[in-house]
Amino acid sequence: MTQKQTVTSRDGTSLACWRDGEGPPLLLVHGGLCDHLAWFFAVPLLARHFSVWTWDRRARGQSGDVGQSSPQREAEDIEAIVAAIGQTPHLLGHSAGGIAALHAALSGLSLRSLMLYEPPYIAAGARAKPAPAILVEMERLLAAGDPDAALAIAMRETVDMTDAEIDSLRHSAGWEHLRAAARAIPHDWVLWDDQPAPSALAKIGVPALVMMGSESPAWLRAAADAVAAALLHAKRATLAGQGHSAMITAPEQFSDAVIDFAAAL
């Protein structure tokens, strides 16, 4: 049975959280252009083995937004939810949520394990870092009330979507949900732009699992490899046939990888 509660972060931001299942706690940190519902298909599977906590990151869904977002604020949000959990959790982050999870782990947060699915690192030689002017343009479009154009830029820059793919998505039922999440694009961009150095990741000593999809863009697969190589105790897992959102496209395959890793600790 799903239980909802509200947690207040250090700076006063209200965070909406949900709990499902019983067992060791597993905190899920969603990526960009979404909210806690990104885990909708995976939660029932994971809740057979864990007490699963999902939440809307600040400026998304039912959570608030106080002041400017930053990696530190995102880490503090995770710390606030862990305090509400009251036990040491497994922490699993997807995409930009993976970068937030890394910042939380580096803050000294006590964790059972750290699991990441394609944290969008920009590995050396994998791709060019987006120019600052791209964020400026997206912020201009959002302020002008044009989230559609801002979304198109974000999708091209972050997951290499083509114009044809974006146009097809624009006519799908999920586009309105993406439009609602567009206001948080600058928050995710800050995480992408301010990544912990690979050398810093060696300070994270907990067991780690770094996952990727075999069909994801090459730069995202390179990012996962770079993060796994930088962590002290990391295992890699490639989900065959999947892209950047395996928790949606293949929830059983995704959940099995998480469950098997945690069970082996």
pLDDT tens per residue, range 191-234: 888 888 888 999 999 999 999 999 999 999 999 999 999 999 99
pTM: 0.95
Alpha-carbon 70 to chain mean position: 14
Please check whether residue 19 is in contact with residue 53, taking contact to mean a CB–CB distance below 8 angstroms: yes
Phi, psi (rounded to 5 degrees) for 44: -60, -30
Q: What is the pLDDT of residue 95?
A: 95
The dihedral through the CA atoms of 53, 214, 126, 138 has a sign that is negative
Do 84 and 137 lie in one domain? The reply is no
Confidence of residue 69 (pLDDT cuts 50, 70, 90): confident
Residue 254 sits in the same domain as residue 223: yes
DSSP 3-state assignment of 34? Answer: coil
- Position 256 scores a pLDDT of 98
Do 22 and 149 sit in the same domain of this protein? no
Q: Is 186 helix (H, G, I), strand (E, B) or coil?
A: helix
Longest dimension (CA), the chain: 51
Contact status, residue 30 vs residue 54, Cβ threshold 8 Å: yes
Give the CB-side neighbour count of residue 152, counting CA atoms within 13 A. 14
CA distance 92 to 29: 6
Helix H or strand E segment including 239: strand 234-239
> Are residues 116 and 77 part of one domain?
yes
Write out the residue range of the structural domain in which residue 146 sits. Answer: 132-188
Q: Which domain CATH number covers 60?
A: 3.40.50.1820
Q: Give the pLDDT confidence of 171-198 residue by residue, as tens digits.
A: 998 899 899 899 999 989 888 888 888 8
Instruction: Supply the pLDDT for residue 128.
Output: 84
Instruction: Quick: pLDDT tens for 83-141.
Output: 999 999 999 999 999 999 999 999 999 999 999 999 998 888 888 888 889 999 999 99
